[in-house]
Amino acid sequence: MRGVRAWLDERLAFSDVIDALRHKTVPHHRYSVWYYFGGMTLFLFGIQVGTGALLLLYYRPSAAEAYESVQFIVTRVPFGWLVRSIHAWSANLMVACAVAHLFSVLFLHAYRRPRELTWFSGVLLLLLTLAFGFTGYLLPWNEVSFFATRVGTDIAAAVPLMGRGIVRFMRGGDEVTGATLTRLFGFHVAVLPAIASGLVALHLLLVQRHGMSVPPSIERQAVHDPAAVRAMPFIPHFLLRDLFAWTIVLAVLAALSTFYPWELGTKADPFAPAPAGIRPEWYFLWAFESLKHVPPTIAGINGELIAVAVMGAGALAALLLPLLAGHTARARRAVVWVGAVALLFMALMTGLALSAAAP
Amino acid sequence: MHSHNTPSGRRSVLNWLLGLWGGGVCGAVLYPVARYLAPPEIPEAATQSVMAGSAESLAPNSARAVAFGSRPAIVIRTAAGDLRAFSATCTHLDCTVQYRPDLQRLWCACHNGQYDLNGRNVAGPPPRPLEAFDVNVKDDQIALSRRSG
């Protein structure tokens, strides 16, 4: 064993890395529970890659066969229902963990210098996660996902000049058809994973390079009371806590997938009306509900265009937060307020969408 | 003064050539990829009319969904007994509308848009009316046709 290790170490030189990890410490304070959400998101990403690969073995990406192949997976393939259910639930938990991670980083001001690139890569990863959700949603080719994709892609039509081109790029033509299915399938299983893998690697490298950020309030407290921040060894203390968090995630995932298997719904019919009660996945509900309340025109301008512009500006502001936010305590308070208002708006709109009944 | 014969002058020419080569390679790769990603336009003969089934079997205050080329259409028999037909694609975000007998209106389930029996957008976010089709009945068969002009 020792001989094999020495042989490998001579070629890979990994003992330096292990040595560094042995000496690595993580700050421990009253907010350190939020450090675990990034790891949980990464764990769920791993589950998505694994279950996604398993689904690929039976899934057929065409309008004529997609629904039937998923039906085959959940009814005939041993444990197929479980694999598909885990993939769908894990996607939802992954979005939830990524959003919790983003807002905790925002509220604890971990985006500050020198962690700007970590924040940029993180926001891009959240957007990629949403893109994974959007592209994966259509793949079972059911009624709900068909209309969600029609609406979701048509929103881009509001963009001046390029709108129609963007819609055609996403749909693979003018309508949502089998061409859209194969296109979104390609994005979902090849293009997005390739980009995500690179960004995850960069994000993790940056987290290792800079270490965990200590919130400014704790830093101030530590000046008078050094016990406010203690150093926790990464191996084994933090690593075991990480594994414990992953185990909880796995337990929740297994329970949800088993007791609430993900439904398949009815096959998409391009000529049938949109069914009553149609709505997108919960993480797009706030945008869906907002679009309902935007009037057709505002001061003579297309209302949809204004909504798209506001959402785009919001996403851009979130991405560029470390450059926009100042370094003073007052600027940090402003960031907390803006973050809280955004969170409250999204929660309110989601609540409204969930409680909305047909007229 | 740099001249092309000095080492730094030669280096700047080489850098310029290297940049030109790099730009050329990137362009030669990216242009076909970008063109490949945009789906080709497939010319399709515009559908001018379709048959929409039996008129007799369409009860008052009900509707029937039919395909009009590659797009959905809807034929309604109003409570008063008239036949009307519209494109069923909501002008807001491309969902497919349905007839609501309780409201006697066309309703889009996606964002709660409503149209009256003339296809006019009367509630919710839709910005434009629905396209109306001409309805003719011959031997109990409903024919829908696109209005000219």
Question: What b/e sequence results for A336-351 when a residue is b if at least 16 CB atoms lie within 10 Å of its CB, and e otherwise?
Answer: eebbeebeeebeebbe
Given an 8 Å threshold on Cβ–Cβ distance, is A292 in contact with B125? yes
Q: Is ipTM strictly over 0.85?
A: no
Let me know: does B42 contact A173? Beta carbons within 8 Å: yes
Given an 8 Å threshold on Cβ–Cβ distance, is A277 in contact with B109? yes
Given an 8 Å threshold on Cβ–Cβ distance, is A302 in contact with B95? no
Segment B80-108, tens digit of pLDDT: 999 999 999 999 888 999 999 999 999 99
User: What's at A6, amino acid-wise?
Assistant: A
* pLDDT score, position B111: 87
DSSP-assigned beta bridge partners for residue B14: none
Q: φ and ψ at A176, to 5 degrees?
A: -85, 110
Given an 8 Å threshold on Cβ–Cβ distance, is A278 in contact with B110? yes
Let me know: does A247 contact A254? Beta carbons within 8 Å: no
**Fold observed for domain A21-279:** Cytochrome Bc1 Complex; Chain C (1.20.810)
Nearest-by-CA chain A residue for B37:
A169
Nearest-by-CA chain B residue for A144:
B110
Question: What is the CB neighbour count within 10 angstroms for residue A36?
Answer: 22
Beta strands in B14-138 (DSSP E): 49-54, 62-68, 71-77, 83-87, 98-100, 105-108, 113-115, 121-123, 132-138
Contact residues on chain B for A304, CB-CB shorter than 8 A: 92-93, 125, 127
| A235: DSSP letter | I
Residue reference for tokens 């208002």: A341
Q: φ and ψ at A142, to 5 degrees?
A: -105, 170
Count interface pairs A-B at CB distance under 8 A.
90
Q: How far B3 CA sits from the closest chain A CA (Å)? A: 42
Separation CA B72–CA A355 (nearest Å): 30
Given an 8 Å threshold on Cβ–Cβ distance, is B110 in contact with A147? yes
Residues in A lying within 8 Å of B, measured between beta carbons: 147, 150-151, 153-155, 157, 165, 168-169, 171-173, 175, 179, 270-278, 288, 291-292, 294-297, 302-304, 356, 358-359
Element of type H or E holding B70: none
Q: Where are the alpha helices (DSSP H) in A13-76?
A: 15-23, 36-56, 66-75
* pLDDT score, position A296: 80
**CA B137 to chain CA mean position, Å:** 28
Averaged over successive runs of 10 residues, the pLDDT of chain A (359 residues) comes to 91 89 91 95 97 97 96 96 97 97 96 95 97 96 93 88 92 93 97 97 95 90 87 92 96 96 93 85 90 84 87 94 90 94 95 73
Cα A263–Cα A264–Cα A269 angle in degrees, nearest 5 = 140
Q: How many residues does chain B have?
A: 149
Q: φ and ψ at A237, to 5 degrees?
A: -55, -55
Separation CA B5–CA B78 (nearest Å): 89
Name which of B42, B94, B103, B128 to mutate to probe chain A: the one with the most chain A Cβ atoms within 10 A of its Cβ. B94
Let me know: does A247 contact A255? Beta carbons within 8 Å: no
Q: Is the pLDDT of residue B48 over 50?
A: yes
* pLDDT score, position A356: 74
Q: φ and ψ at A233, to 5 degrees?
A: -60, 135
* pLDDT score, position B4: 59
Which stretch of A139-153, A259-273, B4-18, B47-61 has the lowest confidence by average pLDDT? Answer: B4-18
Given an 8 Å threshold on Cβ–Cβ distance, is B94 in contact with A154? yes
Separation CA A177–CA A146 (nearest Å): 9
Cα B85–Cα B91–Cα B94 angle in degrees, nearest 5 = 100
Residue A27, SS3 per DSSP:
strand
**B11 close contact with A: CB closer than 8 A:** no
Element of type H or E holding A268: none
Q: Which of A172, A273, A296 sits opposite B65 (nearest CB)?
A: A273
User: Which residues make Cβ contacts (< 8 Å) with residue A44, sequence separation at least 6?
Assistant: A90, A93, A94, A97, A249, A253
Contact residues on chain A for B95, CB-CB shorter than 8 A: 147, 150-151, 274, 278
**Stretch 116-135 of chain B: residues touching chain A, C-beta under 8 Å:** 121, 124-127
* pLDDT score, position B149: 59
* pLDDT score, position A80: 95
User: Which residues make Cβ contacts (< 8 Å) with residue B94, sequence separation at least 6?
Assistant: A150, A151, A153, A154, A157
| A30: DSSP letter | T
Name which of B75, B96, B112 to mutate to probe chain A: the one with the most chain A Cβ atoms within 10 A of its Cβ. B96
Q: How far B18 CA sits from the closest chain A CA (Å)? A: 27
Question: Domain ranges in chain A?
Answer: 21-279
Q: Which of B72, B92, B103 sits opposite A271 (nearest CB)?
A: B72
Nearest-by-CA chain B residue for A288:
B111
Contact residues on chain A for B112, CB-CB shorter than 8 A: 292, 356, 358-359
**B65 close contact with A: CB closer than 8 A:** yes
* pLDDT score, position A359: 44
Separation CA B136–CA B142 (nearest Å): 6
User: Which residues make Cβ contacts (< 8 Å) with residue A87, sequence separation at least 6?
Assistant: A47, A48, A51, A52, A55
* pLDDT score, position A177: 93
Separation CA A48–CA A95 (nearest Å): 12
Closest CA to A229 of A25, A23, A37, A21: A25
Separation CA A33–CA A100 (nearest Å): 12
Given an 8 Å threshold on Cβ–Cβ distance, is A179 in contact with B39? yes
Separation CA A246–CA A116 (nearest Å): 27
Q: Answer whether the bond into residue B40 is a cis peptide, omega within 30°.
A: no
**B66 close contact with A: CB closer than 8 A:** yes
DSSP-assigned beta bridge partners for residue B134: B145
Q: How many residues does chain A have?
A: 359
User: What's at A179, amino acid-wise?
Assistant: A
**B43 close contact with A: CB closer than 8 A:** no
Given an 8 Å threshold on Cβ–Cβ distance, is A274 in contact with B112? no
pLDDT bucket at B2, cuts 50 / 70 / 90: low
Stretch B45-74: mean pLDDT: 91
* pLDDT score, position A358: 42
Separation CA A232–CA A29 (nearest Å): 10
